Protein backbone atom coordinates (compact mmCIF):
# COMPACT_ATOMS: atom_id res chain seq x y z
CA UNK A 1 0.00 0.00 0.00
CA UNK A 2 1.36 3.41 -0.89
CA UNK A 3 0.55 7.02 -0.11
CA UNK A 4 -1.94 7.41 -2.98
CA UNK A 5 -3.90 4.32 -1.91
CA UNK A 6 -4.12 5.58 1.66
CA UNK A 7 -5.07 9.07 0.49
CA UNK A 8 -7.95 7.71 -1.62
CA UNK A 9 -9.24 5.64 1.31
CA UNK A 10 -8.88 8.56 3.72
CA UNK A 11 -10.94 10.82 1.46
CA UNK A 12 -13.83 8.38 1.85
CA UNK A 13 -13.90 8.75 5.64
CA UNK A 14 -16.37 10.89 7.54
CA UNK A 15 -15.02 14.16 8.94
CA UNK A 16 -14.86 12.68 12.47
CA UNK A 17 -12.89 9.69 11.26
CA UNK A 18 -10.55 12.02 9.36
CA UNK A 19 -9.82 13.86 12.62
CA UNK A 20 -9.25 10.56 14.43
CA UNK A 21 -6.90 9.40 11.69
CA UNK A 22 -5.01 12.69 11.81
CA UNK A 23 -4.65 12.41 15.58
CA UNK A 24 -3.33 8.85 15.35
CA UNK A 25 -0.86 9.81 12.63
CA UNK A 26 0.41 12.73 14.71
CA UNK A 27 0.87 10.50 17.77
CA UNK A 28 2.74 7.88 15.73
CA UNK A 29 4.97 10.54 14.18
CA UNK A 30 5.72 12.02 17.61
CA UNK A 31 6.58 8.59 19.01
CA UNK A 32 8.91 7.92 16.08
CA UNK A 33 10.58 11.27 16.72
CA UNK A 34 10.79 10.64 20.48
CA UNK A 35 14.17 8.81 20.53
CA UNK A 36 15.75 11.75 18.68
CA UNK A 37 14.22 14.18 21.15
CA UNK A 38 15.51 12.17 24.12
CA UNK A 39 19.03 12.22 22.73
CA UNK A 40 18.92 15.98 22.29
CA UNK A 41 17.34 16.63 25.67
CA UNK A 42 19.40 14.44 27.96
CA UNK A 43 20.03 17.49 30.09
CA UNK A 44 16.29 18.14 30.33
CA UNK A 45 15.27 19.42 33.74
CA UNK A 46 13.63 17.09 36.20
CA UNK A 47 9.89 17.58 36.44
CA UNK A 48 9.02 19.68 39.48
CA UNK A 49 6.40 17.59 41.27
CA UNK A 50 5.57 20.44 43.67
CA UNK A 51 4.71 22.72 40.73
CA UNK A 52 2.57 19.99 39.17
CA UNK A 53 0.74 19.25 42.42
CA UNK A 54 -0.03 22.94 43.11
CA UNK A 55 -1.52 23.41 39.64
CA UNK A 56 -3.31 20.08 39.88
CA UNK A 57 -4.93 20.88 43.22
CA UNK A 58 -6.21 24.14 41.76
CA UNK A 59 -7.79 22.52 38.72
CA UNK A 60 -8.66 19.06 40.09
CA UNK A 61 -9.40 17.07 36.92
CA UNK A 62 -11.73 14.21 37.84
CA UNK A 63 -10.89 11.52 35.25
CA UNK A 64 -7.55 9.89 34.45
CA UNK A 65 -7.62 10.96 30.79
CA UNK A 66 -8.34 14.57 31.83
CA UNK A 67 -5.48 14.36 34.33
CA UNK A 68 -3.11 13.13 31.61
CA UNK A 69 -4.20 15.94 29.27
CA UNK A 70 -3.78 18.49 32.07
CA UNK A 71 -0.23 17.33 32.81
CA UNK A 72 0.63 17.37 29.11
CA UNK A 73 -0.77 20.90 28.74
CA UNK A 74 1.40 22.15 31.60
CA UNK A 75 4.53 21.25 29.66
CA UNK A 76 3.51 22.06 26.10
CA UNK A 77 5.28 25.43 26.05
CA UNK A 78 8.30 24.55 28.18
CA UNK A 79 9.12 21.20 26.61
CA UNK A 80 7.17 18.18 25.50
CA UNK A 81 6.48 15.41 27.97
CA UNK A 82 6.54 11.75 26.96
CA UNK A 83 3.90 9.20 27.89
CA UNK A 84 6.41 7.54 30.18
CA UNK A 85 7.12 10.81 31.99
CA UNK A 86 3.38 11.43 32.32
CA UNK A 87 2.93 7.98 33.87
CA UNK A 88 5.85 8.61 36.21
CA UNK A 89 4.36 11.93 37.36
CA UNK A 90 1.01 10.28 38.05
CA UNK A 91 2.62 7.41 39.99
CA UNK A 92 4.73 9.90 42.00
CA UNK A 93 1.58 11.86 42.82
CA UNK A 94 0.01 8.63 44.06
CA UNK A 95 3.11 7.70 46.09
CA UNK A 96 3.10 11.12 47.78
CA UNK A 97 -0.61 10.63 48.64
CA UNK A 98 -1.72 13.63 46.62
CA UNK A 99 -4.08 11.62 44.43
CA UNK A 100 -5.58 8.16 44.31
CA UNK A 101 -7.01 6.53 41.17
CA UNK A 102 -10.03 4.25 41.41
CA UNK A 103 -12.06 3.03 38.43
CA UNK A 104 -10.69 5.69 36.08
CA UNK A 105 -11.57 8.44 38.59
CA UNK A 106 -9.07 10.71 40.30
CA UNK A 107 -9.56 11.16 44.04
CA UNK A 108 -7.68 13.99 45.76
CA UNK A 109 -6.28 13.17 49.19
CA UNK A 110 -5.20 16.71 50.12
Share of the chain above pLDDT 90, in %: 38
pLDDT exceeds cutoff 90 at 33: no
Average pLDDT over residues 81-90: 88
> Shortest CA distance to 25 belongs to which of 10, 12, 11?
10
Geometric angle at alpha carbon 92, from 90 and 98, rounded to 5°: 80
pLDDT band for position 51 (cuts 50, 70, 90): confident
Instruction: State the CATH architecture for 44-110.
Output: Orthogonal Bundle (1.10)
**What's the predicted TM-score (pTM) here?**
0.57
Which residue ranges does the chain devote to CATH 1.10.10? 44-110
Amino acid sequence: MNYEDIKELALQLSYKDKFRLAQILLEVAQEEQQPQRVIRSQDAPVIDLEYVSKRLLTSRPSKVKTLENFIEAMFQFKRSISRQEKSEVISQLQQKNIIKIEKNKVIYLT
